[in-house]
Structure 1
């Protein structure tokens, strides 16, 4: 089983446990993109965006995870966690009110704003003190 491990605030952790939060969203940035996506361009898959050709449409391909391990609490000792099934995954490009792509800059390079949308399923395992 391929499990993505993420930290989460206590409030959202509790909402997932209660079943009121059914999606987990994560912003895709140049510093974390390889954890969430690969890039498809011209029928070829690329691991990092620096490898992409200059021309052609680019599609974001989510990396396949079966579950997410969500940790909360302080970064010491045994932290409370849940492992929750992922029912569906989508990488979404973000747009402004006029439908234009949102563009950010990181270290002098522009990148499109995007986020991961994980549809959560059943809790597979939990450790709560």
Structure 2
């Protein structure tokens, strides 16, 4: 099973567990592109026939609440995923520059996110609750 590990806040975790949050959104950044999008041998996004980036398919997402060792976590099925490009008020893609190519030219990125449609909650682990502290 191909699994993506993600950190989320408690409120969103609880919504996923109770079924009221059925999508997870992750912005594609230079630091996350390799985990989120299919790339060619040169490191560029592979696009579909409409010019949209193709996300990596994951069977499930392992959600963790925060970074502590004792934390809530859950394994949740991914039904499907797709990319959305952020657009401005003129319906043009929003772009930004970050980094440089091998010739020193600025790299231009399209602002986009991957949308994961969530399915069944496969496993839930709750952090231990401290009982009667200080008594």
Report the alpha carbon displacement of residue 58 of structure 1 after superposing the two structures with TM.
5.3
Cα distance per residue 1:49-95 (max 9 Å; x no partner): 3x99xxxx95411111000000003x232321010000110012211
Whichever of the two has the greater Rg, that structure is 2
Root mean square deviation of aligned Cα: 2.1
Normalized per residue, the structure richer in strand is 1
Aligned length, in residue pairs: 118
Aligned partners of 1:47 and 1:26: how far apart in 2? 23
Q: Are the equivalent residues in 2 in contact too, given 1:38–1:46 (CA < 8 A)? A: no
Task: Tell me whether 1:104 sits opposite 2:99 in the alignment.
Answer: no
Aligned match of 1:71: 64
Mark the CA change 1:59 to 1:66 in structure 2 (over 3 Å): closer, same or farther.
same
State the distance in 2 between where 1:19 and 1:85 align: 12
Partner of 2:84: 92
The 3-state SS of whatever aligns with 2:38 is strand
Moved beyond 4 Å, runs of 4+: none
Give unmatched runs, 5+ long, in structure 1: 40-44
- Output the TM-score relative to the length of structure 1: 0.82
Distance 1:48 1:9 in 2: 31
